[in-house]
Amino acid sequence: MSAPVRALVARGTGRDLAIEQVTLPPPAAGEVRVRIRAAGVCHSDLSMVNGTLAPPFPLVLGHEAAGVVTEVGDGVDRVTAGDHVVLNWAPACRQCWFCRHDEPWLCASSGGPAVARGHTEDGVPLHVTLGLGALAQEVVVPQAAVIPVPDALPWAQAALLGCAVLTGVGAVRNTAAVAAGDSVAVIGLGGVGLAALTAARTAGAGPIIAVDVSSAKAALARAAGATEFLLADDRLSKSIRELTEGRGVDHAFECVGRAATIRTAWRSARRGGHVTVVGMGARDDELTLGALDIFHSARTLRSSVYGSSDPDREVPELARAVLDGSLELAPLITDRIGLDAAPAAFDRMIRGEGARSVVVFED
């Protein structure tokens, strides 16, 4: 075993998060060790501890991160020590039916909530979120879970490419294929929702209507690309139609993961429009739509898993866009914090404050 590292650990559903010393195994054949330089605090991490999902505990949180490779196991040919990488929480096997049919985001062998890796300081077997456990000083992961990026890419922005940006940008570009002149509504302005706004602006969409429960998100939304901002209330779908000549938007993106907001997105889209569910909801939160409504509205309802993206191809493309200035990610990051402040970042997320908190690890 290697020397212990500091990590954000959850001991059970609803229990306080704590920074603990954990021990990870050395890289086995086909694995790499990565020293984390930046990691985002994502709502999917919250889902691991608030009862939405049911992972095993104790659990190292975190799945959106970037860092530098420090050690490689036998047979690794994807990266070498010193490479800068973005972590991929859903590496495709490239062999299953979905991968062979160009849908790697639906890979049959990726995306489990947690895997066993290492142990806690008191000797309890440890699990890591989505195979990564990236809110830690170091991770040990399969080589397929790392994607090389240019050294010039800032760490905090590189981290966001691994989840928020792939998910939000991919939902707009890949799943919905938003075109210039399309009207767009984005409901829920966390990191993913703000990334969706950025992609809609880049696509030339308009109007771009941002929606959140907090008026504090208005400035963030406009910086990310929104042309309009609305507070979520009981007449939201009517307000959206008023901004679109009475029709509703061509594309409504739900970035919360609740049946109530999915229903609002449905009502906010025009006849023949498209509703894309990006937020991950609870298993028992059921959505009901009337059969006549479905027929009469002619709307399309679909989800976007990981932005319908192929991270191996798209992360390098997004990295180049950040470096050439065509993709602006600064508005997505509202707090840069140390690992010790990560539990408080989860509290802010629960209260709906800010967008993305990014843990930045010092040398």
Is the pLDDT at 112 greater than 80? The verdict is: no
| Residue 1 pLDDT grade (very low, low, confident, very high; cuts 50, 70, 90) | low
Rounded distance between C-alpha atoms, residue 306 and residue 195, angstroms? 13
> What are the pLDDT digits (tens) for 169-198?
999 999 999 999 999 999 999 999 999 999
Mean pLDDT of 66-71: 98
Q: At 77, is the secondary structure helix, strand, or coil? A: coil
- Phi–psi pair at 57, nearest 5 degrees: -125, 160
Per-residue b or e along 255-276, where b marks 16 or more CB atoms closer than 10 Å to that residue's CB = bbbbbebbbbbbbbbbeebbbb
Report the alpha-carbon distance of residue 3 to residue 300 in Å, rounded: 52
Residue 298 has pLDDT above 70, yes or no: yes
| Amino acid occupying residue 171 | A
Give the amino acid at 21: Q
Specify the pLDDT at position 283. 87
Tell me, what's the pLDDT at 116?
Answer: 87
Average pLDDT, the chain: 94
* Range 100-105 average pLDDT: 96
CATH 3.40.50.720 fits 167-305, yes or no: yes
Q: Which of 51-65, 144-158, 224-238 has the lowest mean pLDDT?
A: 51-65
Instruction: Name the β-bridge partners of 140.
Output: 33
pLDDT band at 303 (very low <50, low <70, confident <90, very high): very high
pLDDT at position 180 is 98
151 SS3 class: coil
Beta strands in the chain (DSSP E): 5-10, 18-23, 31-41, 59-60, 64-72, 84-87, 114-120, 125-129, 138-142, 146-148, 184-187, 208-212, 228-231, 249-254, 269-277, 300-303, 333-337, 356-360
Could you state, in order of their start, the residue ranges of all structural domains in the chain? 5-162+328-360, 167-305
Length of the chain measured in residues: 363
pLDDT digits (tens, 9 = 90+) for 208-221: 999 999 999 999 99
What pLDDT is attached to residue 46? 87
For residue 184, give the amino acid letter.
V
User: Which CATH architecture describes the domain 5-162+328-360?
Assistant: Alpha-Beta Complex (3.90)
pLDDT for position 81: 97
Residue 75's pLDDT is: 97
